[in-house]
Structure 1
Amino acid sequence: MFGKFTRQEKSWIMYDWANSAYSAIVTASVLPIFFKSIARNAGVSANMADSYWGYATSAATLIIALMAPVLGTIGDYKNMKMKMFKVFLGVGVLSTGFLALKEHWVYLLVLYMVSVVGFTGANLFYDAFIVDVTAEDRMDLVSTYGFALGYIGGSTIPFVASIALIMFGPKIGIPTSVATRFSFIITVVWWILFSIPILKDVKQSYYVEEEKHIVINSFRRIFDTFKNIRRYKHIFLFLLAYFFYIDGVNTIIHMASVYGDSVGIDSNTLLIALLATQIVAFPCAIIYGKLAERVGNSKMILTGIITYIIICIVAYRMKTVVEFWILAMLVATSQGGIQALSRSYFSKMIPKEKANEFFGFYDIFGKFAAIMGPALYAFFSQITGHSRYGVLSVMLLFLVGGTLFIYSTVKYPHSS
């Protein structure tokens, strides 16, 4: 499968394989379920635990969203992109490791927030490296293979090992809580080990020459970009659409496990279904990339948005384990594809020498959006007393994002 890629492309793709363990274990499955269990034992109700998780996710993404523009412009300077990537990789790895040290729901929430900052900050620079490692006509292919391989990476050794420990550990004398905490150590080891290729092989090819007062000049460059945004109307319109629909995607990712728990799906079923989702998402992400070559990137992004509208409706009505499995498989069909194609769609629009600066805006739109979705879910769950209305409210994000995206492709058909 790797024969068609260059060394730098392979090394860049492998980081999706590396950080996928975090996505699968910390974001989507083990940590949310563990948190709900610890919170329940401390007397926190199910819907309030959902709300706390949603608010924590929103707070963490707010932090990185506020940092993203200046981080992006700093990363555009010569030799800075990799340095910044390493800093946030370190923050993510260390905070994830510390999750294994203590069982308290507040402690878990705080460290989860720090790990989100590290994970998403590293991804800002990782995403921006795509312009350095491949040509424009290969971006859809490279981006979708990255997401596809990431699903296999997250759902093979680290996820299976974690599930096996949690499900069968008690039978051999390992308490469930100990097995769960050890899964965070597995995540850290996997993340570090498979980050080595990108650290070793990927170099920054496009950059702005170094100058004095990097931070001050970075703010000036941000201001200049805002001031001249009329030159990039097609980029701004896409980012506005992306703001809404990717918020919905991220909300489903972050809230799926806690929602499943709230509607009565047992933890073992949740873990197995999430494992199946990772496996099915692998070929689906590649299929999205292949179809994008045939029918166009924009049409496949719109297909993903429509699929997620259906997902919200199914989730609201869900009452049985069978319906949960249908929901999981629907998510698997589009989760990787819509994220990968959005990344490559945006990469083709932007000036390469300002890739980090523009990916800083891409990240701030995505992360500010990720504040709104979980908060929206948490708010409706809290005021109605049931998480069903929280997940239904997420559909609004896809409706608005889809409408704006259609308008952007009609207004600027050359960019689609």
Structure 2
Amino acid sequence: MGTEEKLSRYTTEEKSWIMQDWANSAYSIMITTAVFPLYFKSIAESGGLADADSTAYWGYANAAATLVVSLLAPVLGAVADYKGFRNPLFTGFTLAGIFATIGFVFVPAANWLFLLGLYMLSVIGFSGANIFYDGSLMDVTTDERMDRISSAGFGWGYIGSSIPFVIFIFFQLTGILPLSTSGIVKGGFILTAVWWFIFTIPYWKNVKQNYYIEKEPHVVRKSFVRLWETLKNIKEYRQAFLFLLAYFFYIDGVGTIFKMATAVGSDIGLSSNELIVVMLVVQFVAFPFSILYGRASKRFGNKNMIFVGIVTYIFICIYALQLDSLLTFIILALLVGTAQGGVQALSRSLFGQLIPKEQANEFFGFYNIFGKFAAVVGPLLVGLISQLTGNSLDGVFALIILFVIGGILLFFVKVPDPQAKQQS
């Protein structure tokens, strides 16, 4: 019992790490999912774009921004391994994302192209900072507690992101402030940026780079050399590489549905208020289900629980063809909430079982690369199919291909028995 009590407490470093997920998740719901997509759709409409075209450009922008991060990630990850480099890189990308988010407020009406460009900058800042955030997990906790802390980050991130969202909805629905709808939305962007900055302070203060490579001359050139060595090492570990291929496909589908949800809801005629309330409900559903996935994995295993998530997403892709009302969209959104956090959290812990501990930082660097680069294909697929058919629901259905391929590849991944590893 004493051991359980001890494990239930978080250290200062662990709390600060979890708090960063609490901080930046506000961007995920306010900018990536719920509010900004609707704002962009309204700006695009005033600029003369049709619904299908604005949804397509939204997909293209997400794909392009993610591609930039994906191309930068290998070098950034290798450079960040050197002593004294990771935290400044994290800070630079975080501040870029925060200031770009504030910049939304000052974009002239109907200038949808400039707004989209600024959004891409914010995505690069947010996604780039998360590369270094994920890589710092090993600096704040032990191998024994890593699954728990990683899951806590996802779970509490959903709650943390909901608070500024609730504040935004309160002012949106009550009209208590003498502001136009556009003014309240812009206030939401500022609130997101301030929330992100304030709750990142504990991370800046308490998370230090404990595992690193000593600095040497020509850091960038040496980073490319190390990057090539890491790539060769991944090929020597067949199961880890096979998992990365599976992860590449199914996490692409997960991320695309997350990013495109409100744009699709808008296309079927749902109002901004309806979509915002649904997204809030999803956040509260995702919190307990993230924890539930973690607990269920102890009995059924990481791999099997990820399969549960993949099957859920396949059903979501099929069900998307039936979207025609608020009720059907609520059902689809709730299904997303049951699987999203669990799939992400368990994918990270499963990969940790497949890699050599002494090379964990390098291998997790590639894990981030595959995750970021994966988010290019899905938005492009949705955008292309939406424009070809004139129906964004067809674009969502097309994502089923990614989940099927990812599930088939995951089936062939052999997961080591954790108990056998402990006994050995």
TM-score norm. by structure 1 comes to 0.95
The one-letter amino acid of 1:153's match is G
Q: Quick check: 1:134 aligned with 2:141?
A: yes
Following the alignment from structure 1 to structure 2, what is the Cα–Cα distance between the partners of residues 351 and 130?
16
Following the alignment from structure 1 to structure 2, what is the Cα–Cα distance between the partners of residues 357 and 111?
31
Q: Quick check: 1:320 aligned with 2:325?
A: yes
Q: What's 1:48 paired with?
A: 53
Q: What's 2:406 paired with?
A: 401
Q: Quick check: 1:305 aligned with 2:307?
A: no
Q: Quick check: 1:163 aligned with 2:179?
A: no
Q: Quick check: 1:34 aligned with 2:65?
A: no
Tell me, yes or no, if the aligned pair for 1:91 and 1:115 is still in contact at 8 Å.
yes
Tell me, yes or no, if the aligned pair for 1:76 and 1:353 is still in contact at 8 Å.
no
Aligned length: 412
Contiguous gaps of at least 5 residues in structure 1: none
Tell me, yes or no, if the aligned pair for 1:11 and 1:198 is still in contact at 8 Å.
yes
Following the alignment from structure 1 to structure 2, what is the Cα–Cα distance between the partners of residues 16 and 345?
20
Within the candidate set 144, 148, 157, 2:151 is matched to 144
Following the alignment from structure 1 to structure 2, what is the Cα–Cα distance between the partners of residues 353 and 89?
29
How far 1:118 sits from its partner (Å)?
0.5
Tell me, yes or no, if the aligned pair for 1:208 and 1:353 is still in contact at 8 Å.
no
Superposition pairs of residues 55-74 of structure 1, within 5 angstroms: 55-74=60-79
Following the alignment from structure 2 to structure 1, what is the Cα–Cα distance between the partners of residues 274 and 196?
26
Following the alignment from structure 1 to structure 2, what is the Cα–Cα distance between the partners of residues 370 and 131?
25
Following the alignment from structure 2 to structure 1, what is the Cα–Cα distance between the partners of residues 242 and 214?
29
How far 1:378 sits from its partner (Å)?
0.3
Tell me, yes or no, if the aligned pair for 1:125 and 1:356 is still in contact at 8 Å.
no
Q: Quick check: 1:272 aligned with 2:269?
A: no
Tell me, yes or no, if the aligned pair for 2:247 and 2:406 is still in contact at 8 Å.
yes
Following the alignment from structure 1 to structure 2, what is the Cα–Cα distance between the partners of residues 191 and 251?
23
Q: Quick check: 1:119 aligned with 2:117?
A: no
How far 1:360 sits from its partner (Å)?
2.8
Q: Quick check: 1:376 aligned with 2:381?
A: yes
Within the candidate set 340, 343, 357, 1:338 is matched to 343
Following the alignment from structure 1 to structure 2, what is the Cα–Cα distance between the partners of residues 90 and 356?
24
The one-letter amino acid of 1:229's match is I
Contiguous gaps of at least 5 residues in structure 2: none
SS at match of 2:269: coil
The one-letter amino acid of 1:224's match is E
How far 1:110 sits from its partner (Å)?
0.5
Following the alignment from structure 1 to structure 2, what is the Cα–Cα distance between the partners of residues 173 and 203?
45
Following the alignment from structure 1 to structure 2, what is the Cα–Cα distance between the partners of residues 302 and 368?
22
User: What percentage of residue pairs aligned between the two structures are identical?
Assistant: 50
How far 1:79 sits from its partner (Å)?
2.5
The one-letter amino acid of 1:77's match is Y
Following the alignment from structure 1 to structure 2, what is the Cα–Cα distance between the partners of residues 100 and 355?
41
Q: Quick check: 1:6 aligned with 2:11?
A: yes
Tell me, yes or no, if the aligned pair for 1:206 and 1:352 is still in contact at 8 Å.
no
Following the alignment from structure 1 to structure 2, what is the Cα–Cα distance between the partners of residues 146 and 236?
25
Superposition pairs of residues 170-249 of structure 1, within 5 angstroms: 172-249=177-254
Q: What's 1:255 paired with?
A: 260
Q: Deviations over 1:129-170 (max 9, x none)?
A: 1112122222221111111100000112x101222233333x
The one-letter amino acid of 1:245's match is Y
Tell me, yes or no, if the aligned pair for 2:354 and 2:416 is still in contact at 8 Å.
no
SS at match of 2:292: helix
How far 1:179 sits from its partner (Å)?
0.8
The one-letter amino acid of 2:173's match is M
Following the alignment from structure 1 to structure 2, what is the Cα–Cα distance between the partners of residues 111 and 351?
40
Following the alignment from structure 1 to structure 2, what is the Cα–Cα distance between the partners of residues 231 and 27?
37
Tell me, yes or no, if the aligned pair for 1:75 and 1:357 is still in contact at 8 Å.
no
How far 1:361 sits from its partner (Å)?
1.5
Distance verdict in 2 for CA 1:172–1:229, change over 3 Å: closer
How far 1:284 sits from its partner (Å)?
0.9
Following the alignment from structure 2 to structure 1, what is the Cα–Cα distance between the partners of residues 135 and 353?
12
SS at match of 1:211: coil
Following the alignment from structure 2 to structure 1, what is the Cα–Cα distance between the partners of residues 367 and 119?
23
Following the alignment from structure 2 to structure 1, what is the Cα–Cα distance between the partners of residues 351 and 137?
11
Following the alignment from structure 2 to structure 1, what is the Cα–Cα distance between the partners of residues 293 and 233?
34
How far 1:357 sits from its partner (Å)?
3.1
How far 1:346 sits from its partner (Å)?
2.3
Q: What's 1:388 paired with?
A: 393
